[in-house]
Amino acid sequence: RAGQLDIVTQIMSGTDTLALLPTGGGKSICFQVPAVALSGTTLVVSPLIALMKDQVETLNRKGIPAAALHAGMSRSDINQTLERALHGQYKLLYVSPERLATQNFRGYLPNLNVGLLVVDEAHCISMWGQDFRPSYQRLCELRSLLPSVPVAAFTASAPAWIQDDILQGLQLRNPYVHKGDFSRNNLVFHALKSQDKALH
């Protein structure tokens, strides 16, 4: 789709990227393609457990090894997933921002061979947005833990001031910014003026 190739190309070149694409605009493929092509594991930060599970299942069905770490897992499942990640068994590892902030995960991080850091729903970093997640503001700490790893941030909803929050909060360096087309030509709204406003 429009813009996807540009985004993939920039990520593949190691450029920090901010991509604004509408819901259903194909954000996930823009980081999944580089994840498969690049060496190492792509770490995907996502606040939505259901979305993580859905994407992991879809990737695994396609033969792409992926896993997720989130609050709904047992300690043994988490440790088993982390051990597999340490041995390079996953191309994509999805992590909730809260899980990423734990000392347990931070202890594994330097040995995970992370090739790309993806921040999905990146607008959650803005304290002025309705979807604000405090744990997102700690993601900037990853720049010191993974100094040479490029960052790709994705969102479907970000006015200019939230875009600035994303760029600054994630410390994106000389980023490529792609702004997709948010027009919805297939939607039509009609307003009807009613004369009879009887209450029921």
Residues of the chain with pLDDT under 50: none
For 45, the 3-state DSSP assignment is: strand
Which pLDDT belongs to residue 22? 86
Query: Residue 78's Cα: distance from chain center in Å?
Result: 20
Tens digits of residue pLDDT in 161-175 = 889 999 999 999 999
Which pLDDT belongs to residue 193? 75
What distance in Å separates the CA atoms of residue 162 and residue 124, rounded to the nearest whole number? 9
Which pLDDT belongs to residue 39? 94
Which pLDDT belongs to residue 167? 94
Which pLDDT belongs to residue 151? 97
